[in-house]
Amino acid sequence: MLAGNWKMYKNPAETAAFFQAFAPVVADQEQAQIVICPPFVNIPEAVAAAKNTRIGIGGQDLFWLKEGAYTGEVSAPMLQAAGCQWVIVGHSERRQYFAETDETVLKKTQAALESALTPIVCVGEGLEDRESGATENVLRAQFAGGIAGLSREQFARITIAYEPIWAIGTGKTATPAMAAAAHGFLRSLVGGQFGEAAAADIRILYGGSVKPDNIKGLMAQPDIDGALVGGASLDPASFAAIVNY
Ligand code: 13P
């Protein structure tokens, strides 16, 4: 699975232009699940442009209630009605700038599942955690607070993204071995909580400075099932090179 997280980039016209260039060059790609997560206002454009392609569309966030007086928020049923099949939950930028916690990550994940959206639940350690040897402790805590509270049935329908914060937008990708170690650790947490079959089945994406020139090495790791791509997903040629690696 190759997913693009556009973050706060592109307007509707730029979204349409992206798909015009991108869709034809990935049309023959039948092995990978391709997903684009644009800003909310571009979802109608993206859904229309992705019609009759194998490209899925997702939101970058959601609120856990269905509707109400929550100015600025967007709900799972709204995303679903707009044509989304996916939604990113708990991205580190949401955690850092918008006070997202493991508790809200769990609530949003459950809300997404209730609306038959597939949540892409993000976890990952910061630079200080990595340097002080706390990576596994951070991942264990994020898993315990944000994911372990799901039922087995709910868990079977999520995707996890491991995004080390120090690798996001920095050009410092985790080496394939570092990423694989973190994915292996996450899989062991999944095994302990949801059983070995769940650990084998769960799709874990890597995110953090994924580019056309490093995707192959990352995807060669058996524990890495795909990528969540920021900057390099904004350019149709570079994201197509990643998808067609
Ligand atoms: P970059 O690919 O720009 O490092 O961003 C990664 C990311 O945060 C994807 O969600």
Q: 169 CB under 6 A from ligand 1?
A: yes
The number of folded domains in the chain is 1
Q: What is the pLDDT of residue 166?
A: 95
Q: What is the pLDDT of residue 193?
A: 98
0.95 exceeded by the pTM?
A: yes
Given the residues 45, 93, 163, 183, the one annotated as active site: 163
Q: Which of 5, 174, 22 is nearest to 92 (CA)?
A: 5
Please indicate whether residue 163 is annotated as part of the active site.
yes
Spans in the chain with pLDDT lower than 70: none
Q: Which of 153, 168, 85, 157 is nearest to 123 (CA)?
A: 168
Q: How far apart are CA 242 and CA 236, in angstroms?
A: 10
CATH of the domain at 16: 3.20.20.70
Q: What is the pLDDT of residue 192?
A: 98
Sign of CA dihedral 117, 158, 125, 220: negative
Out of 168, 204, 205, mutate this one to test ligand 1's pocket (max ligand atoms within 8 Å of CB): namely 168
Q: What is the pLDDT of residue 14?
A: 98
Q: Which CA distances in Å does 119 have to 12, 24, 87, 103, 111? A: 24, 27, 5, 15, 9
Q: What is the pLDDT of residue 142?
A: 98
User: Which residues partner with 68 through β-bridges?
Assistant: none
* Structural domain for 207, as ranges: 2-243
Q: How far apart are CA 140 and CA 150, in angstroms?
A: 15
Q: What is the pLDDT of residue 171?
A: 86
Closest protein CA for atom 5 of ligand 1: 230
Q: What is the pLDDT of residue 145?
A: 98
**90 neighbors 146 (Cβ within 8 angstroms):** yes
Strands (E), the chain: 2-5, 34-37, 55-59, 86-89, 118-123, 159-162, 203-207, 226-229
Q: What is the pLDDT of residue 172?
A: 87
Q: Which of 168, 172, 170, 176 is nearest to 224 (CA)?
A: 176
